[in-house]
């Protein structure tokens, strides 16, 4: 590699450049994470569109993009808890986090999410090389049997529901989401933002709007009390480690989201971690995915996330030592931000009339749908919102709505 770790540490100019670009990327990731309904991939594609005109070394532009992606995975948990508008990767934690907020333990939920993410960063980096070696060896087999693998995942997810009613709802939700994906994902409607796409209205409708519609009749965010974490430290660490390992699967296999991987993780985590385990696991998977996606780009040449697409479009060199230092730095920044900003966010929302917040955020999601996909995006948003109401009515998990991505991939194979 052109720049070795020794040269990097010894050169203060490189250190200052890395710090500056990482801080800039962290700021952008904070904005994208805190805007309800703004999916990381949409934000990354916008970055990709302007990357060529950004004055700076492509290496450090790439560092900024990675930092934005990492910090986004920390901060996107905050609107999921306070407003109920998650990034699709946070779909599993939405209801568990809401239950904790309703119990007055939102501060604890925020800290659990922060720990899950930062521990996943620290675990994913040393694990990345051996896991990449193993997955690279198995990748041709995985690629050739991807539809079968995805079908097995879908069957396992549906079977994991506890009641017959929930299993029926899970299957119905998956089928409806698959149809939605088949008819919308590949479209490129005229839109005000060139870096847009159908992901924004689809995910905002499936995962954001239904929660907000139900919240209009709710009582809002109650006063929050406890900050202490009522989960054994060893179980937090084991769950985060399992999440980091699952992040490797997400990073290499298309169609497997952090939400899906988190469900699988909890089947193998010892103890009864419940809602807290969901939050730690999904946060860990979501953040680790950003790191493993970088190694996937190096190993198999495939950008698995929107951030990696933006990174590749910026022609950023794959200088892993510098990039990984930037990732760790971004992780530390994200850890601090999610605790500080998350607490303030919950307190602020708790002082407002929740039905007003829900109506305003629903309006914001409509605006985002228009910006990314034009008038057709608003239509898709409303259709996706109707589909998104299905799993909760059957008391099933929202993760089955990821059929919007998995279903088309299965059928394409």
Taking only the tens place, the pLDDT of each residue in 319-358 is 888 899 999 999 999 999 999 999 898 888 888 887 888 8
- The radius of gyration of the chain from alpha carbons, rounded to an integer in Å, stands at 20
Provide, rounded to the nearest whole percent, the portion of the chain with pLDDT above 90: 24
Neighbours of 189 (CB within 10 A): 17
In a domain, 8, yes or no: no
In a domain, 228, yes or no: yes
Average pLDDT estimate for 4-10: 47
Of 162-176, 312-326, 385-399, the least confident: 312-326
Asked if 220 and 353 touch (Cβ cutoff 8 Å), the reply is yes
pLDDT at 8 over 50: no
Q: Which tops the pLDDT comparison, 184 or 128?
A: 184
Average pLDDT estimate for 95-123: 88
pLDDT at 57: 83
- Single pTM value for the model: 0.81
3-class SS shares of the chain: helix, strand, coil, % to 5: 80, 0, 20
Which stretch, 23-32, 93-102, 115-124, 288-297, has highest mean pLDDT? 115-124
How many domains does the chain contain in total? 1
In a domain, 3, yes or no: no
| Alpha carbons 293 and 247: distance in angstroms, whole number | 9
In a domain, 2, yes or no: no
Q: Which tops the pLDDT comparison, 383 or 250?
A: 383
What's the whole-number average pLDDT of the chain? 83
Asked if 286 and 71 touch (Cβ cutoff 8 Å), the reply is no
pLDDT at 282 over 70: yes
Query: 30: which 2 tokens?
Result: 């904070």
Q: Which residues touch 84 (CB under 8 Å, ≥6 apart)?
A: 94, 98, 208, 211, 212, 215
In a domain, 196, yes or no: yes
pLDDT at 18: 85
∠ CA 399-404-407, nearest 5°, is: 100
pLDDT at 117: 94
pLDDT band at residue 190 using 50, 70 and 90 as cut-offs:
confident
pLDDT at 21 over 80: yes
In a domain, 13, yes or no: no
Average pLDDT estimate for 110-132: 91
pLDDT band at residue 7 using 50, 70 and 90 as cut-offs:
very low
pLDDT at 289 over 60: yes
Structural domain for 252, as ranges: 18-412
Query: 2: which 2 tokens?
Result: 């052109």
pLDDT at 49: 64
| Alpha carbons 84 and 211: distance in angstroms, whole number | 6
pLDDT at 300 over 60: yes
Average pLDDT estimate for 14-27: 87
Tell me which residue of 290, 261, 275 sits closest to 124, measured CA to CA: 290
In a domain, 393, yes or no: yes
pLDDT at 361 over 50: yes
Average pLDDT estimate for 206-220: 79
Q: Which tops the pLDDT comparison, 378 or 191?
A: 378
pLDDT at 251: 76
Of 38-42, 125-129, 289-293, 334-338, the least confident: 38-42
Q: Which tops the pLDDT comparison, 353 or 164?
A: 164
Average pLDDT estimate for 241-258: 78
Average pLDDT estimate for 166-188: 95
In a domain, 10, yes or no: no
């Amino acid at each position: 590699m052109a720049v070795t770790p020794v040269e990097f540490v010894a050169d203060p100019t490189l250190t200052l450049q890395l710090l500056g670009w990482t801080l800039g990327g962290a700021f952008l990731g904070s904005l994208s994470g805190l805007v309800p309904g703004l999916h990381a991939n949409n934000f990354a594609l916008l970055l990709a569109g302007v990357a060529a005109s950004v004055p700076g070394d492509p290496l450090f532009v790439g560092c900024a993009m990675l930092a934005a992606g990492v910090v986004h995975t920390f901060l996107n948990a905050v609107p999921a808890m306070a407003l109920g508008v998650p990034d699709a990767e946070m779909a599993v934690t939405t209801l568990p986090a809401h239950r904790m907020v309703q119990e007055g333990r939102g501060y604890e939920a925020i800290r659990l999410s922060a720990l899950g993410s930062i521990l996943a960063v620290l675990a994913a980096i040393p694990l990345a090389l051996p896991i990449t070696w193993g997955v690279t060896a198995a990748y041709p087999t995985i690629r050739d049997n991807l539809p079968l693998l995805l079908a097995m995942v879908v069957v396992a997810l549906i079977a994991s529901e506890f009641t017959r009613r929930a299993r029926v709802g899970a299957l119905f939700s998956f089928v409806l989401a698959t149809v939605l994906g088949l008819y919308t994902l590949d479209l490129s409607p005229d839109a005000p933002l060139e870096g847009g796409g159908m992901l924004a209205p689809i995910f905002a409708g499936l995962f954001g709007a239904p929660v907000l519609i139900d919240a209009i009749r709710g009582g809002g965010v109650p006063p929050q009390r406890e900050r202490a974490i009522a989960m054994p430290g060893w179980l937090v660490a084991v769950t985060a480690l399992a999440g980091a390992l699952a992040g490797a699967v997400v990073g290499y296999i298309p169609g497997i989201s952090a939400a899906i991987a988190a469900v699988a993780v909890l089947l193998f985590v010892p103890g009864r971690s419940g809602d807290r385990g969901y939050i730690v696991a999904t946060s860990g998977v979501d953040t680790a995915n950003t790191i493993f996606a970088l190694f996937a780009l190096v190993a198999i040449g495939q950008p698995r996330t929107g951030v990696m697409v933006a990174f590749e479009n910026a022609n950023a060199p794959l200088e892993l030592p510098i990039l990984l230092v930037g990732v760790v730095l971004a992780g530390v920044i994200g850890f601090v931000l999610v605790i500080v900003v998350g607490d303030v966010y919950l307190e602020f929302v708790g002082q407002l009339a929740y039905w007003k917040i829900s109506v305003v955020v629903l309006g914001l999601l409509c605006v985002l749908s228009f910006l990314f996909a034009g008038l057709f995006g608003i239509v898709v948003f409303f259709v996706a919102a109707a589909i998104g109401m299905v799993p909760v009515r059957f008391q099933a998990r929202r993760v089955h709505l990821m059929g919007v991505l998995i279903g088309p991939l299965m059928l394409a194979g």
